[in-house]
Amino acid sequence: MDTHLQPASWDWIRAVVVSTFVILIITSSILMPLEKLLEPRRLDRLPPWSRWFLVLPTAFASGFVAEIVPRMFFAVLEIVVNHELMFRPGFDFLIWQLWAPLFFVAGGIQMAPRFKFSTFLVVGGVKIAVAATNFGRDLRFVHGGGPWTAMDPTTNSPLWWDAIVYTVCIGFLIALGWFLGRQALEKPHRQTVTAVP
């Protein structure tokens, strides 16, 4: 880990969260029209085998677009406003480890013609495993005597921020899995009830 330290600061967190919120509102004007490509009635025109074939490519494409578009806008905006990249590591990490994974999972699930919960177990499981593995690495570093204020050498964001983002990502994905699991359990029950004369 980097020897440079960044203690937790409400001003830094507020700047990252507010700038993320503003950038995501701005970039939604680009992402929303792209989402229309995955509308159910449009996808229903494709043969089911092709939709299964496209689950992972769609997930990767969705995650990539959701990562690149906000990061481009943020870089331009922060340079114009601050004339330097002060909060970029925090913003980049939030987009890379929370926003893009959510789009990755949503894109894969949307492309799947059926078995949305099973699809979630694959695409969501991958992202939960990545977040949990990285979070575990950070915990091992801190347990070994490293400070939470150390900077991650890959992202240049503080470990305490990484831990928050990993936890929120895992929480969101588990909540989505729970919702999809409940839907999957209720669907056969509804079909059984309506099938009874």
In the predicted structure, residue 57 carries a pLDDT above the cut 50: yes
Long-range CB contact pairs, 10-18, < 8 A, 24+: 12/87, 12/90, 13/90, 13/161, 15/86, 15/87, 15/90, 16/87, 16/90, 16/91, 16/94, 16/161
Quick count: other Cβ atoms within 10 Å of Cβ 77?
15
DSSP 46-93: S-HHHHHHTHHHHHHHHHHHHHHHHHHHHHHHHHHHHSS-SSHHHHHH
176-193 tens-digit pLDDT: 999 999 988 887 655 544
* Average pLDDT, integer, range 90-100: 91
109-160 tens-digit pLDDT: 999 999 999 999 999 999 999 999 999 999 999 999 989 989 888 888 899 9
pTM check: above 0.85: no
In the predicted structure, residue 83 carries a pLDDT above the cut 60: no
Which structure tokens are listed for 192? 């059984």
**Angle formed by the axes of helices 55-82 and 100-111, to 10°?**
150
What span, in angstroms and rounded, lies between the C-alpha atoms of 7 and 86? 15
The DSSP symbol for 113 reads S
Spatial CB neighbours of 156, under 8 Å, sequence gap ≥ 6: 2, 89
